[in-house]
Amino acid sequence: MTLAHIQGQPRAIATLLRALSGRRLHHAYLFAGPDGVGKSLTARAMAGALLCHAPAADGDACGRCSACIRAADGAHPDLHVLRRKEKESGDGTLEQQIKIEQVRELQQTLSFKSFEGARRVVLILDAERMNPATSNALLKTLEEPGPDTHFVLVSSAPHLLLPTILSRCQRVRFAPLDRSLVAELIADRAGLDRAHADLLAGLAEGSIGKGLALAESALLADREVLIARADDPDGKRHIPQVLELAEDLAAKKAELPLFFQILRTWYRDLLLLNAGVPTDALVHRDLVDRLRTRAAALSQTEVLSRLERINETERGIDGAANTRLSLETLLLRLADR
């Protein structure tokens, strides 16, 4: 994968190619943006360009030489990747933090000459997962990286990085991907019809990774039922069904982020309709008739109040509140105008 193959991030790629072709490379870059928009993929393509034996005129990797092939396979001796390790449980879950011991090992490796006598590249994935001690251990290496050593930090939460780390990196911003591109890629990779992929793309908010994860959810098939129960203009007459929905959702805690996302985007769509925004901008544009009916019935103040309740409930559940009770309270309050 070369930089030219990265889709949906023209500004970021143009910035990197200008630096590569003009030989105005910074020793440390921070790729910052939402999850699932191509940051890690671009970081690996950047590493390939830096290590390539026969780069193109624009500085991009050739994609064919032995260095490019080994970099793509993660087997290049001068490419070092720092990331969270898998837990010893062997279930594939990752440690919460990048350990300080990993940074110490990296520093020892970098104290020796590069294997091929050219550049060395260090990729740090989920860089915000470094705690202050780990970050401070890395700081000296960032300040004095050694000749032809380049760092690329990848983060979806750069505000969690120490200011001292941020100040030593050149930030390259990655934007959410265009909805049509996300839908196209999801349809291709997950084998879905375009209408289903378009809905996933809207819910994913510009993230291919998030869209593909949503494609695995069984909850999405019940979207219309969820919306009908949660945003029921006659909800007081259907309290038993509302309580049953809360019980079902509480038993599927892993699905709750999608439930809250469905509700949030539903009420967001109502706000957009009331503001006169074209229907193409809506997430649930396949339900536009129902959206118009509800937008006419709810004031902006009522919609904003409901969004606030949804966000408060999600934060409470994340903070270990009683899940079923919290959901029951939310759904009953949504049913009460």
pLDDT tens track for 139-151: 988 988 877 899 9
Which structural domain, as residue segments, surrounds residue 32?
Answer: 3-173
In whole numbers, what is the pLDDT of the chain averaged over residues?
91
* Phi, psi torsion values for 278, nearest 5 degrees: -60, 150
Q: Are residues 284 and 308 in the same domain?
A: yes
Q: Give the pLDDT of residue 235.
A: 61
| Rounded mean pLDDT, 65-76 | 94
Query: CA 13 → CA 123, 177, 230, distances in Å?
Result: 17, 14, 42
In this structure, the answer to whether residues 249 and 264 fall within a common structural domain is yes
Domain final position from 150, 185, 216? 216
Q: Under a CB-based contact definition with an 8 Å cutoff, are residues 123 and 47 in contact? A: yes
Are 101 and 233 in a shared domain? no
Q: What's residue 242's pLDDT?
A: 84
- pLDDT above 90 covers a percentage of the chain that reads 68
Measured CA to CA, the distance from residue 173 to residue 154 in angstroms comes to 10
**Residue 14 and residue 155 in one domain:** yes
Domains held by the chain: number: 3
* Domain boundary pick from 188, 216, 244: 216
Q: What is the CATH number of the domain that holds 76?
A: 3.40.50.300
Q: Is the pLDDT of residue 337 over 70?
A: no
Mean pLDDT lowest for which of 14-28, 34-48, 207-221? 207-221
- Among 38, 48, 50, 40, smallest CA distance to 70 is for 48
- Closest Cα partner for 175 from 3, 5, 9? 9
- Distance from CA of residue 195 to its chain's centroid? 22
Shared-domain flag, residues 136 and 210: no
How much is the pLDDT for 287?
93
The residue out of 141, 173, 205 marking a domain boundary is 173
pLDDT of residue 236: 66
pLDDT single digits (tens) 231-280: 887 766 778 888 888 999 999 888 898 999 999 999 999 999 999 999 98
User: pLDDT value at position 229?
Assistant: 86
Which pLDDT value is given to residue 146?
79
Say whether both 33 and 158 belong to one domain: yes
Q: Are residues 139 and 162 in the same domain?
A: yes
213 vs 45, which has greater pLDDT?
A: 45
Q: Are residues 132 and 66 in the same domain?
A: yes
Alpha-carbon torsion angle 205, 209, 215, 218, nearest 10: -90
Assess whether 126 and 44 both reside in one domain.
yes
Q: Do 8 and 113 have their domain in common?
A: yes
Phi, psi of 247 (to 5 degrees): -65, -45
- 175-213 pLDDT, tens digit per residue, is 999 999 999 999 999 899 998 999 999 999 899 988 998
Same domain, 55 and 157: yes
Q: Is residue 137 located within the same domain as residue 77?
A: yes
Q: What percent of the chain shows pLDDT beyond 70?
A: 97
Q: How far is 60 from 57, CA to CA, in rounded Å? A: 7
120 residue type, one letter: R
DSSP string, 169-231: SEEEE-PPPPHHHHHHHHHHHHT--HHHHHHHHHHHTS-HHHHHHHHT-SGGGGHHHHHHHHT
> What pTM did the predictor assign?
0.84
